[in-house]
Structure 1
Amino acid sequence: MDTVNTRFKLAEATGEAKYIADRHYEGLLEGRFFRSSCSRGVIKAVYVPELPEGYHLFGAKDVPGHNVLPIVEIDWPAFAEKEVRYIGQVIFLLVGPVPDVIEQLLQQIKVEYSPLTPAYTIEQSKALIDGAIHSTDNVFDTHALTKGDIDEGFAQAVTIIEETCSTGYQEHIYLETQGVVGYPQDGKVVIEGSMQCPWYVHHCMAVVLGHDHVRAIQCPTGGGFGGKEDYPDVLAGPLAVAVEKLQQPIRIVLERSEDIAFTSKRHPVAFHYRTGIDKHGNIVAMDVTFDVNSGAYLSLSGIVLQRSITTVTNVYDIPNVRVEGHAWATNTVPTGAFRGFGSPQTCFCIETHLNHVAKQLGQDPAAFKQRHFLQSDSTTLTGAKIFGDLVLDQMMARITDLSDYSQKTRSYLDQAPNTATRKGIGMAIFQHGCGFAGDLEDTLVRAKIRLIKEPDGNVYILASNTDIGQGLSLTFCKIVADSLCKPLESVHLAIPDTGVVPDSGPTVASRSIVIVGYLLEKAAEKLKSCWVEGEHQELEEVYRKPDYHVWDQNTYQGNAYQVTSYGVNVVEVDVDMATGETQITGAWAVYDIGRAIDAQVFKGQIDGGLVQALGYGSCEKMELTSDGVFAQKTMADYVIPTALDVPSIESDLVDNPYPYGPNGAKGGGELTHNGGAAAFAAAVELAIGKPFSSIPVTPEKVCEALYAEKMAVVIKANDQGAQYEY
């Protein structure tokens, strides 16, 4: 079988790795999508030019199975047939040998629409103009959850504070754009490409083609961050139809501008808080409602909604809580998976709101939050006992030491008011539930792995989890080698190929180490106990949830996740008071991920995740135009941090081993994205003395906060006839 290079990432580091766009296929054809130019409407008529020999057009009528992409719910068609719901929706796939000719032919295809009034925002979706996009009310999914007695809680309150906090879109900007190649082999349709979840692609092909003679193979993948969880299905469904019909290799690789314009994004979310504080300055009640912009189809929004619902109070023990969330249909690109999967939005909003609550009460935000921490004997928002020890206080002490947070906070609060540059420091505390929500690891996924020992003593790991830059090709091998007490060089990881590896579940939800890694450890221990030199041996291990993990999907009661990881971030900034520009001068991070399999590998996750979060909080602005498309079209328009923007990052891990993880490990890859944006916004707030309730906190927003009142005075004075220069 084919395996990943044992020398960790050597091929990628030396430029020898063959990404999907680098690979040669005899007789390869190119594929390009014809996409909707209407954001909402009914397809009335289609004009297709006469195609030259060797060029082929595929649409809904060519689908031999079901014209759907099976992403959770069956609502997103592989090819639009009767209606379109967003600009960029796939209507046809045009295939041929010469890309330039394909582009010319695409320009000649005409579609006539009966347009309907589109809804781009949640407010427009609620208005139901021209009827509902989905169902009767545009609500894809909704859930509610109650802890304690919300009315009794507010009866104890002497102060009630209300606030709305919100987040916008975020684009993945993985190094390698979306790309797949399909070809016929041994009676099967095979698709290989840049993907996180080969079995998702396998299932999508089987549904669209109406049979299971399919196979999906992951190639070296230049980053995913969630963007290659669901979206490869959008390419694979139409591609499988074309490959089966033509029996030739066909490639679809998106240009960067196409990738930015039409692939999934992080969900925009708005949280409204109504928080009650008693006479002792403690939170006694919190009523939360929030709305998620799902885009045109459900995709993964229901799962994002569940994570947001069950973790809405973050790391805090609030006795009386009521929360209700809705995922709304709009006529925009469907929003999907992104590192953190709803947690960065939830974390920014609750951390920001609690900062503002503390300040209104005249309390220090860090001390106020720490007083409300969950403890090891607490009951969670979903009514479960905490499993294991919480070490949040220990983490707070460590990061305060590392960053000198307390002294700097006092110093920066006493800065002279008229300095050209002001300093600020901010903190965020956060968590991330590892694995699928509720009991889905047991009832839906049931991960399976296999170990094969050859007579020569080499051991092969068969699992469907993919290395998309987070280091699984090393850490999986280390887990097995350590458990077997064998050299690392003797353990090999099979390429994720659904024709070879069992379905161990997708590479999502911070589950690869804590769920699949644990299965590998258990299998390796069994193999060690029955090891026979010179013989071929195989072992399988199937997931079984721990006895303490109980969940009721109907009531949302129990352990919302098998286990939770925790983090604290501190960010320090200098703010130019004239331009609003912010320089991040330092960042600190402390995490509880149980026990790291490889601290150096996880250091890469810490640095990368934190920088990505800082971009989310500071500069990654993505806006919709009045036509429902993104104003940011290229990497020149969509600004992400460069190497020059990355501060010194000092980090540490608190050792808190988890008994149901390999070597005591929990998940951590998503955790590292959850807190940076909130910490950054808090630092800018302290520096300029103005609050922010949404991100990104751009220089424009800083200037608006600093000068909005002054501008209002100037405008009013000018209206009265006075002359001012400003």
Structure 2
Amino acid sequence: MDTVNTRFKWQEATGEAKYIADRHYEGLLEGRFYRSSCPRGVIKSVEIPELPEGYHIFGAKDVPGQNVLPIVEIDWPAFADNEVRFVGQVIFLVVGSDPDVLEQLLGQIHVDYEPLTPAYTIAESKALVDGAIHADDNILDHHSLEKGDIEAGFAKAVTIIEDTCSTGYQEHIYLETQGCVGYPKDGKIVIEGSMQCPWYVHHCMAVVLGHDHVRAIQCPTGGGFGGKEDYPDVLAGPLAVAVERLQKPIRIVLERSEDIMFTSKRHPVEFHYKTGIDADGNIVAMDVKFDVNSGAYLSLSGIVLQRSITTATNVYDIPNVRVEGHAWTTNTVPTGAFRGFGSPQNCYCMENHMTHVAKQLGEEPAAFKMRHFLKSDSKSLTGADIFGDLVLDQMMEKILSMSDYNTKTALYAFQPGSDEHCAGSGKRRGIGFSAFQHGCGFAGDLEDTLVKARVGLNKLADGTVQILASNTDIGQGLTLTFRKIVADTLNRPLDTIQLAVPDTGVVPDSGPTVASRSILIVGYLLEKAAQKLQLNWKEGEPQELEEVYRKPDYHVWDQTTYQGNAYQATSYGMNVVEVEVDMATGETEILGAWGVFDIGRAIDPVVFRGQIDGGMVQALGYGSCEKMEMTRDGVFAQKTMADYVIPTSLDVPTIDSDYVDNPYPFGPNGAKGGGELTHNGGAAAFAAAVEAAIGKTMSSIPVTPERICQKLYGEEPEQTVRKVKAPRAGGNA
């Protein structure tokens, strides 16, 4: 059995690792996609050039099974057939030995479209010009929930504040672009490549080919961040069709510009808040409505929507809440998974709104937020008791001390330049705070009713133990932490524990590497399996055992009413960011960043520090400079790494971080999930710091120098928060 080198990341560190583009396959052919140039239209006719010997074109008519990518719902075709919904949609796969010839053939294919008016934004989707793209209303999914009595809550309010906050696209910019190779072996169609979820790819091949004689293998993967959850299916479906027909190895590796233009992105969202405050300055009611730009097909938007709905009030105990969310179809690249899976958008908007409410009431934002924190005896937004101890107050004390937040807040209030005359007045400093959470594992009871994760342990006669699990290491360190969990439980040397390559021909389906579930769910199964092996250890004999997930008894969920424990466990975090803003140019310099986290207990503190640093840098990029705009032609204006700006080593501040030890009883060694959590709050803290520095509200990210100057010099309306007196009891709130 192939196993990962037990020296943690040794091959990657030394350059020995063989990524998909590095691998040799005898007789390898190359594959290139012919993509739609029309954002929305009906395919009227197709002209195919005469193909040289050894070159092939595959399309919808060549699919032996179902022409679909089974990503949650069956709505995204493997090959476009009758219609196209976005620029870049796959229509054909062209295969041959010479990439230059493939490019020539792609240029000779002609598709004639009957174009329809595209919708790129949520507002355009709602307008239904030229009819609906999907169903009769363009709504791919929607949910709502209520807590308490929203009307009674607003009746207690003396002030109502309305606010709109929004976020844009974010590109993954993983080091390695999307890529995979397919080949026939032992009567099966095998695809190996850069992927997060081998069993997803396995299932996709089975559906497209109409049989289960398939196998998916993860290669060393140069980053994913969610971008290699759903999108490898887009490559694997067409590739499997071609490999089965030709019975030869075929490779598809995207160029960077192709990857940026056509792969999934983080969902843009628009949140509208209506918040009621009582005479004591406490929030008594909140009405939240939000819209998600899903792109052309559902993909993972329904699950992102569910996470946003169930965590809409973040870490705050609001007694009366109504939340309603819609996922809208547009003629853009389907949006999908990205680290945090809806939480960074939700956390930014909610934190931004809470900051604005505090300022409208004349209160310091961090103190106002702390007063509204959930407590251990609170009810969650979905009506469940809080499981375990909340340590938000301890975390708050720690991060305020680490960052010297209160002293700096008071100091910066007396900088030269008033709010009315701050433009062009040199440089000003600001400091911002955010609190946030992340539910670990799949939402609701899906871990129990749908995923049903399984793991295995194989003990060899020499005492070596092999871990069988389908979860992948995409940079977060599972090749070490899984082994440490088993080694610590068995009290065995780390080098006697091996981790099988995630290969669906070898490992059971442990569920996907998403949703901060690998440690919480799968790591706990490995710990339980190792405990059983330890109790029944037979020296000198091979042994095998399997462990299957069963949710804890306290975890109860009603999918119909959205009531109960929205997640098995929740991790928490807090960030503080300090900035200096050049009031003439709008340029920002991050002077410092701080983070405090509750992830239960870290399996490996060094590995988690790496997650903190990486997650916070990615979040700061999301909040400050990662701008991605859709043009009127239905393509992204940013197409290369020269256009899409991410933080470099020169932009990264000193990051001071810590965590509070708060063991969770149903996690391995007390651990909860942490990989996504670290991305959730950085953008909000950065935006709050900029607001504090310039004295203007910023209600959308990224907060670029251009947007700061627009605020300072009056090109963008300043008043985005509306404060009104509440009507008298009995009136309409």
What TM-score range do you get, normalising by the shorter chain?
over 0.9
Counterpart of 1:20 in structure 2: which amino acid?
A: I
CA distance in structure 2 between the aligned counterparts of 1:457 and 1:711, rounded to whole angstroms: 69
User: Structure 2: how far apart are the matches of 1:375 and 1:403?
Assistant: 24
The equivalences for 1:605-616 within 5 A come to: 605-616=611-622
Structure 2: tracts of 5 or more residues without a match: 719-733
Which residue is equivalent to 2:450?
A: 444
**1:676-715 map, 5 Å:** 676-708=682-714
**Percent identity among equivalent residues?**
81
Counterpart secondary structure, 1:146: strand
1:665 matches 2:674: no
Alignment of structure 1 residues 564-583 onto 2, 5 Å: 564-583=570-589
What displacement does 1:492 show? 0.4
Structure-to-structure mapping, 1:241-640, within 5 angstroms: 241-417=241-417, 419-640=425-646
Change (3 A) 1:467 1:709: closer
Q: Distance in 1 between matches of 2:405 and 2:465?
A: 48
**8 Å CA contact 2:19, 2:219 repeated in 1:** yes
Amino acid at match of 2:577: V
Counterpart Cα distance in 1 of 2:508 and 2:412: 56
- The alignment partner of 2:337 has SS state of coil
| Aligned counterparts of 1:123 and 1:700: Cα–Cα separation in 2 | 24
Trace 1:8-19 onto structure 2 (pairs within 5 A): 8-19=8-19
Matches of 1:39 and 1:420, distance apart in 2: 46
Residue 388 of structure 1: how far off its partner (Å): 0.1
Once the two structures are superposed, what CA deviation does each residue of 1:288-323 show, in whole Å capped at 9, x if it has no partner? 100000000000000000000000000000000001
SS of equivalent residue, structure 1 residue 101: helix
> What is the root-mean-square deviation of aligned Cα atoms in Å?
0.9
User: In structure 2, how many angstroms separate the alpha carbons of the residues matched to 1:35 and 1:260?
Assistant: 14
Q: Which residue of 2 aligns with 1:80?
A: 80
Cα displacement (A) at 1:5:
1.1
2:630 counterpart letter in structure 1: L
1:29-48 correspondence to structure 2 within 5 Å:
29-48=29-48
The SS at the match of 1:152 is helix
Cα offset for 1:710? 11
Whole-Å separation in 1 of the counterparts to 2:204 and 2:613:
34
Q: Amino acid of the residue matched to residue 10 of structure 1?
A: W
Structure 1 residue 498 displacement after superposition? 0.1
Distance 2:3 2:591 in 1: 42
Deviations 1:619-657 (A, max 9, x none): 000000011110000000000000000000000010000
> Which residue is equivalent to 1:718?
none
SS at match of 1:207: helix
What's 2:186 paired with? 186
Describe the SS at the equivalent of 1:298: coil
Alignment check: 8 A CA contact 2:710 2:716 kept: no
Q: Shift in Å at residue 711 of structure 1?
A: 12
Note if contact 2:145-2:562 (Cα within 8 Å) is conserved in structure 1: yes
Q: Which residue type is aligned with residue 612 of structure 2? A: I
**4+ long deviations beyond 2 Å:** 709-712
Equivalences for 1:205-224 in 2 at 5 Å?
A: 205-224=205-224
| Cα drift, residue 162 of structure 1 | 0.3
Q: How does 1:87-98 map onto structure 2 within 5 Å?
A: 87-98=87-98
Distance 1:322 1:32 in 2: 48
Give unpaired runs (5+ residues) of structure 1. 713-726
Specify whether residues 141 and 44 from structure 1 end up closer, same or farther in structure 2 by C-alpha distance, changes over 3 A only: same
CA distance in 2, matches of 1:709, 1:563: 45
Q: Does 1:49 align with 2:49?
A: yes
- Counterpart-to-counterpart distance in 1, 2:399 and 2:126: 43
| Aligned residue identity for 2:325 | G
- 1:716 corresponds to which residue? none
Distance 1:710 1:325, change over 3 A: closer
Per the alignment, in what secondary structure is the counterpart of residue 644 of structure 1? Answer: coil
> Which one-letter code corresponds to 1:609 in the other structure?
G
SS in 1 for 2:638: coil
Instruction: Give the Cα separation in 1 of the matches to 2:709 and 2:123.
Output: 27
Shift of residue 414, structure 1, vs aligned partner: 1.1
Match of 2:725 in 1: none
Residue of structure 2 in register with 1:126 after alignment: 126
Distance 1:4 1:119 in 2: 46
When structure 1 is superposed on structure 2, of 703-712 and 532-541 the one drifting more is 703-712
Cα distance in 2, alignment partners of residues 386 and 147 from structure 1: 15
* Alignment partners' CA distance in 2, 1:201 and 1:558: 32
Kept after mapping to 1: 8 A contact 2:134/2:329: yes
- Please give the alpha-carbon distance, in whole angstroms, between the structure 2 residues aligned to 1:200 and 1:599: 31
Code of the aligned partner of 2:408:
K
User: Could you tell me which amino acid in structure 1 is paired with residue 125 of structure 2?
Assistant: S
**Shift in Å at residue 279 of structure 1?**
0.3
Q: Name the CA distance, whole Å, in 1 between partners of 2:593 and 2:3.
A: 38
Task: Report the residue type matching 2:261 in the other structure.
Answer: A
- The question of whether the paired residues in 1 share the 8 Å contact of 2:181 and 2:192 is answered with yes
Q: Secondary structure at the match of 1:5?
A: coil
Q: Match for residue 724 of structure 2?
A: none
What amino acid does structure 1 have at the position aligned with 2:426? A
Verify the 8 A CA contact 2:711 2:717 in the aligned structure 1: no
Q: Tell me the amino acid that sits aligned with residue 329 of structure 1.
A: T
Distance 2:715 2:679 in 1: 34
Instruction: Describe the SS at the equivalent of 1:691.
Output: coil
Alignment of 1:104-119 (within 5 A): 104-119=104-119
**Matches of 2:717 and 2:470 in 1, distance apart?**
58
Structure 1 SS opposite 2:184: strand
Question: After superposition, what is the alpha-carbon deviation per residue over 1:201-241, rounded to whole angstroms, capped at 9, x for unaligned?
Answer: 00000000000000000000000000000000000000000
Q: What SS class does the counterpart of residue 161 from structure 1 fall into?
A: strand
Aligned mates of 2:50, 2:317 — CA distance in 1:
66
Corresponding residue SS for 2:685: helix
- Distance in 2 separating the partners of 1:215 and 1:649: 42
Code of the aligned partner of 1:36: S
The one-character-per-residue Cα deviations of 1:97-153 (angstroms, maximum 9, x if unpaired) are 000000000000000001111111001100111110000000000001000000000
User: Any idea what SS the aligned residue of 2:714 has?
Assistant: helix
Deviations for 1:419-463, whole angstroms, at most 9, x for unmatched residues? Answer: 511111101000000000000000000000000000000000000
1:710–1:75 Cα change, 3 Å:
closer
Supply the AA of the counterpart residue of 2:188: K
TM-score of the superposed pair, with normalisation by structure 1: 0.98
User: Which residue is equivalent to 2:650?
Assistant: 644
1: CA distance, partners of 2:334 / 2:224: 17
Distance 1:692 1:503, change over 3 A: same
Q: Distance in 1 between matches of 2:579 and 2:693?
A: 8
Offset from partner CA, 1:580-616 (integer Å, 9 cap, x none) = 0000010000000000000000000000000000000
Amino acid across the alignment from 1:623: E
SS at match of 1:643: coil
**Which amino acid counterpart does residue 651 of structure 1 have in structure 2?**
S
Equivalent position amino acid for 2:53 in 1: E
TM-score normalized by the length of structure 2: 0.97
Within 2, Cα distance between the matches of 1:468 and 1:63? 31
SS at match of 1:708: coil
